[in-house]
């Protein structure tokens, strides 16, 4: 390969650039990103940036040493794949052109790392979302003492914004359509365990409330009624923005569909149509997980950090498969909340410690297999359980329910 284009300048894009170079790629390298900033970390946006503790989350990178041309503030608008490339086994199955606001960018290797954009609600009233540093700074300036802040969505972002707003003296209401916070991410049983944290922080949590639209001055609810607000913040999830890939021939669903090595499919999801020259990674990729026997679309920092190395190896023709168990964390209401694994197919949840207490852990099991862990201010549990999940090791269900027994001792050898 002589020319690789990376589209998207978030963490995944940067990591792809770094991995390509560290794996010995010496050809041309260009990163094109719609934002005007070099890659920066997003997790602090809803934490330290909103709290006013930092204003710059740029990820350290020596772009000169990386030998990477940066096209910032430029957007990819289309993708034309080399027709020969439709046969992934043909020797000339390489290349194409990214159409962009900076002109046509020919490539023989392409990394798609365009992340995701927040979903917004209907209505013509002003609504804040939180994805970029500008949005974080703008929102922070509005979190002033006494301001009525209404947050739609008691997910990860909603909980973190509520934490910051309450700390800054705002009157905070969180409106959630499901019956518990984090119902989508953790399921209702585990999600319910986080509900008391809201009242404890002085935040009003209204669950089972659906929003019809955002209007000037607040929300209109689906069943009638309104909630008045000085500022409305919407944290109801994200979706990959794949509009620039439409018509390219790549298989797009909720994310760019890839195999376990992040090769994008040109056509049906079958080995013969996986492109060796086009990889997708980070929040925009729906990749095949052999571990779970299904596609995963993981919108979390750890995947954006680690998966691009596999994508870079793939692009360079090296054998690599990504099969990590997902991991993420959240800092909310003074707690460090960490989750690893996947409980989608688990048969039960087991408490480890009293969830009405300050520190506790919950684990999900199928038979004696540990599927997932949720640790609240118990980082050691997280680390040890994450290791057991990665290894697929069986555990003693009685021992793992005892918070005084280290998780590693509950693992059967
Ligand atoms: P992104 O960071 O979205 O980067 C994609 C980049 O591509 C963007 O700069 C975008 O502008 C650009 N782009 C998009 N379309 C185009 C185009 N057509 N042409 C050119 N450029 C384009 N995860 C955790 O695990 N824990 C946390 O505590 C946590 N907190 C978070 C807090 C916030 C406020 C947010 C927003 C996210 C948080 N995350 C957290 C998630 C984590 O930050 C993301 O998973 C990660 O940023 C994904 O990186 P990415 O590079 O795939 O995508």
**Tokens in use for 51?**
């709290």
Using alpha carbons, select from 121, 174, 118, 165 the residue that is nearest to residue 142: 165
Q: What is the pLDDT of residues 230-250, one digit of tens each?
A: 999 999 999 999 999 999 999
Pair 113, 242 in one domain: yes
Pair 113, 253 in one domain: yes
Beta bridge partners of 391: none
Task: Tell me if 300 CB under 6 Å of ligand 1.
Answer: yes
Supply the mean pLDDT for the chain.
96
CA dihedral in degrees (64, 65, 66, 67; nearest 10)? 50
Pair 308, 373 in one domain: no
Task: Tell me if 32 CB under 6 Å of ligand 1.
Answer: yes
Task: Tell me if 402 CB under 6 Å of ligand 1.
Answer: no
Tally of structural domains, the chain: 3
Pair 125, 102 in one domain: no
Q: What is the pLDDT of residues 293-342, one digit of tens each?
A: 999 999 999 999 999 999 999 999 999 999 999 999 999 999 999 999 99
Task: Tell whether 127 is covered by a domain.
Answer: yes
Pair 210, 246 in one domain: no
Pair 222, 309 in one domain: no
Q: What is the pLDDT of residues 63-77, one digit of tens each?
A: 999 999 999 999 999
In the prediction, which pLDDT does 82 show? 86
Pair 108, 242 in one domain: yes
Task: Tell whether 325 is covered by a domain.
Answer: no
Task: Tell me if 113 CB under 6 Å of ligand 1.
Answer: yes
Task: Tell me if 11 CB under 6 Å of ligand 1.
Answer: yes
Q: How many whole angstroms separate alpha carbon 152 and alpha carbon 270?
A: 40
Task: Tell whether 169 is covered by a domain.
Answer: yes
Asked if the model's pLDDT at residue 132 lies above 90, the reply is: yes
Pair 124, 95 in one domain: no
Question: How far is the centre of ligand 1, averaged over its atoms, from the C-alpha of 366 (Å)?
Answer: 32
**Tokens in use for 287?**
């990749």
Interstrand relation of 263-265 and 274-280 (parallel, antiparallel or unpaired): antiparallel
Domain containing 98 equals: 3-117+238-315
Backbone φ and ψ for 20, nearest 5 degrees, come out as -60, -45
Q: What is the pLDDT of residues 17-73, one digit of tens each?
A: 999 999 999 999 999 999 999 999 999 999 999 999 999 999 999 999 999 999 999
* Ligand 1 atom index nearest CA of 331: 28
Q: How many CB atoms sit inside 10 A of residue 192's CB?
A: 17
Question: How far is the centre of ligand 1, averaged over its atoms, from the C-alpha of 10 (Å)?
Answer: 6
Q: Domain boundary at 177, 201, 234, which?
A: 234
Interstrand relation of 76-81 and 96-100 (parallel, antiparallel or unpaired): antiparallel
* Ligand 1 atom index nearest CA of 281: 52
* Ligand 1 atom index nearest CA of 243: 18
pLDDT (mean) for 383-404: 95
Task: Tell whether 69 is covered by a domain.
Answer: yes
Q: How many whole angstroms separate alpha carbon 293 and alpha carbon 295?
A: 7
Q: Domain boundary at 234, 253, 288, which?
A: 234
In the prediction, which pLDDT does 83 show? 64
Measuring from atom 26 of ligand 1, which residue has the nearest CA?
Answer: 329
Question: What CATH number should be reported for the domain holding residue 354?
Answer: 3.30.390.30
Task: Yes or no: say if 103 and 5 are a contact pair by the CB < 8 Å rule.
Answer: no
Residue 159 gets the label, from left (phi > 0), alpha (psi -120 to 50) or beta, of alpha
Question: How far is the centre of ligand 1, averaged over its atoms, from the C-alpha of 34 (Å)?
Answer: 12
Write the secondary structure of 262-320 as one string of H (helix), E (strand) and C (coil).
Answer: CEEEECCCCHHHEEEEEEECHHHEEEEECCCCEEECCCCHHHHHHHHHHHHHHHCCCCC
Question: What CATH number should be reported for the domain holding residue 220?
Answer: 3.50.50.60
**Tokens in use for 98?**
């990214």
Question: How far is the centre of ligand 1, averaged over its atoms, from the C-alpha of 396 (Å)?
Answer: 38
Q: What is the pLDDT of residues 74-101, one digit of tens each?
A: 999 999 998 654 444 454 557 999 999 9
In the prediction, which pLDDT does 91 show? 46
pLDDT (mean) for 285-300: 96
Pair 222, 124 in one domain: yes
pLDDT (mean) for 360-386: 97
Pair 7, 113 in one domain: yes
Measuring from atom 45 of ligand 1, which residue has the nearest CA?
Answer: 300
pLDDT (mean) for 209-225: 97
């Amino acid at each position: 390969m002589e020319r690789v284009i990376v589209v998207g300048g978030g963490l995944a894009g940067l990591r792809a650039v770094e991995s390509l170079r560290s794996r010995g790629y010496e050809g041309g390298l260009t990163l094109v990103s719609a934002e005007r900033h070099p890659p920066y970390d997003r997790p602090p946006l809803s934490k330290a940036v909103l709290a006013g503790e930092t204003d710059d989350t740029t990820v350290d990178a020596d772009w000169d040493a990386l030998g990477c041309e940066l096209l910032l503030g430029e957007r990819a608008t289309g993708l034309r794949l080399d027709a020969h490339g439709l046969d992934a086994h043909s020797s000339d199955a390489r290349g194409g052109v990214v159409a962009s606001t900076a002109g046509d960018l020919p490539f023989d290797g392409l990394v798609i790392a365009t992340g995701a954009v927040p979903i917004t609600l209907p209505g013509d009233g002003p609504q804040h979302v939180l994805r970029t540093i500008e949005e974080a700074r703008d929102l922070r300036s509005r979190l002033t003492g006494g301001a009525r802040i209404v947050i739609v969505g008691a997910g990860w972002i909603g909980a973190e914004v509520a934490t910051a707003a309450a700390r800054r003296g705002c009157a905070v209401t969180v409106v959630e359509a499901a019956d518990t916070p984090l119902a989508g991410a953790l399921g209702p049983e585990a999600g319910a365990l986080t509900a008391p944290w809201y009242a404890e922080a002085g935040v009003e949590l209204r669950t089972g409330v659906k929003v019809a639209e955002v209007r000037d001055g607040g929300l209109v609810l689906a069943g009638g009624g309104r909630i008045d607000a000085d500022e409305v913040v919407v944290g109801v999830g994200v979706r990959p923005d794949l509009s620039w890939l439409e018509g390219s021939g790549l298989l797009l669903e909720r994310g760019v569909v890839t195999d376990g090595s992040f090769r994008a499919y040109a056509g049906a999801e079958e080995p013969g149509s996986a492109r060796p020259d086009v990889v997708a990674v980070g929040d925009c990729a729906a990749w095949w997980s052999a571990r779970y026997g299904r596609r995963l679309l993981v919108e979390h920092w750890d995947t954006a950090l680690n998966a691009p190395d596999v994508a870079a190896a793939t692009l360079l023709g090296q054998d690599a498969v990504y099969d990590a168990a997902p991991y993420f964390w959240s800092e909310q209401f003074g707690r460090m909340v960490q989750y690893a694994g996947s409980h989608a197919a688990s048969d039960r949840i087991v408490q480890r410690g009293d969830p009405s207490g300050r520190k506790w852990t919950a684990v999900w099991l199928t038979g004696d297999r540990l599927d997932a862990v949720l640790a609240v201010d118990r980082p050691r549990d997280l680390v040890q359980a994450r290791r057991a999940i990665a290894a697929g090791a069986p555990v003693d269900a009685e021992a793992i329910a005892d918070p005084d027994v280290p998780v590693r001792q509950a693992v059967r050898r």
